[in-house]
């Protein structure tokens, strides 16, 4: 268990245009009847180490009010999402500042990773002790990687030491605020919170996650997610 309190942020402002659905993909239903977002909330909010949650949603959101978890006891607040993911996370951090202090921990989880295992998140929480600013769940790259230009292979990339980053990613509250404010002030481009923290020299630990923790991006991912969730329930 971490030395300080632990909170959860879920940026859920994406539209998911590649799914070509009638609603943002985080609200699409799984076979168990829960939305993709609610499945993540179900898994994470039942964890004892997570004291509270802030979800960032679009200003014109028409769906979160139907969430089974909107009035959950750990749901501290709903905040407005921003133009980019890091804007949404920073807005959520500003909202969370009412409840958290600089040295508390914050887990940031993709709204569209419904297959996350509580056991993996617990491993992440347990691993982050002294001497690091944060950590991420990740899996080693196992496929052969090719660098191509105009669909022509240029070289094979050495996969030694390469990992596929997942979420949740976990950081000290104060460190993450500083990192995201640095992104905005320098007009940087980042793909995840770990990159922002790395840009200010933060120490980030890699904790092994599960291949099941997929990010739903296209329609075919939904069927795979249903399979993994069923598998998680059987274990």
CATH of the domain at 230: 3.90.550.10
Is 10 among the domain residues? Answer: yes
The pLDDT tens digits for 43-90 are: 999 999 999 999 999 999 999 999 999 999 999 999 999 999 999 999
Number of domains making up the chain: 1
* 161 CB burial (10 A radius; 0-12, 13-18, 19+): exposed
CB 197 within 8 A of CB 179: yes
- Structural domain span for residue 86: 6-234
pLDDT band, very low/low/confident/very high, at 20 (cuts 50, 70, 90): low
Is 106 among the domain residues? Answer: yes
Is 132 among the domain residues? Answer: yes
CA distance 203 to 56: 26
Is 216 among the domain residues? Answer: yes
**Pick from 188, 166, 156, 148: which is nearest to 112 by CA?**
166
Is 134 among the domain residues? Answer: yes
The pLDDT tens digits for 143-183 are: 999 999 999 999 999 999 999 999 999 999 999 999 999 99
pTM: 0.94
- Give the helix/strand (H/E) hosting 89: helix 85-96
C-alpha dihedral sign at 166, 37, 232, 171: positive
Residue 74 token pair: 């750990």
Tell me what pLDDT residue 16 has: 60
- Choose between 48 and 233: higher pLDDT: 48
Is 139 among the domain residues? Answer: yes
pLDDT band, very low/low/confident/very high, at 234 (cuts 50, 70, 90): low
CA distance 19 to 229: 20
Tell me what pLDDT residue 18 has: 61
Is 1 among the domain residues? Answer: no
Tell me what pLDDT residue 231 has: 81
Own/partner pairs, 157-163, CB within 8 angstroms, 24+ separation: 163/138, 163/139, 163/206
Tell me what pLDDT residue 219 has: 87
């Amino acid at each position: 268990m971490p030395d300080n309190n632990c909170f959860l942020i879920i940026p859920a402002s994406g539209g998911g245009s590649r799914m070509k659905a009638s609603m943002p993909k985080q609200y699409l239903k799984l076979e168990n009847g829960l939305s993709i977002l609610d499945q993540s909330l179900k898994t994470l909010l039942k964890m004892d180490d997570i004291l509270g949650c802030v979800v960032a949603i679009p200003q014109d959101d028409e769906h979160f009010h139907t969430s089974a978890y909107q009035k959950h006891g750990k749901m501290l607040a709903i905040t407005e999402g921003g133009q980019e993911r890091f804007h949404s996370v920073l807005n959520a951090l500003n909202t969370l500042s009412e409840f958290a202090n600089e040295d508390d921990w914050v887990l940031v989880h993709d709204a569209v990773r419904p297959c996350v295992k509580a056991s993996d998140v617990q491993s992440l929480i347990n691993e982050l002790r002294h001497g690091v600013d944060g950590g991420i769940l990740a899996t080693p790259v196992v496929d052969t990687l090719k660098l191509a230009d105009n669909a022509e292979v240029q070289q094979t990339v050495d996969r030694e030491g390469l990992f596929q980053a997942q979420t949740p990613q976990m950081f000290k509250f104060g460190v993450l605020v500083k990192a995201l404010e640095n992104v905005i002030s320098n007009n940087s481009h980042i793909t995840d919170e770990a990159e922002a923290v790395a840009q200010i020299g933060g120490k980030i630990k890699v904790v092994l996650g599960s291949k099941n923790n997929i990010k739903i991006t296209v329609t075919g991912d939904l069927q795979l997610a249903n399979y993994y969730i069923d598998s998680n329930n059987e274990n």
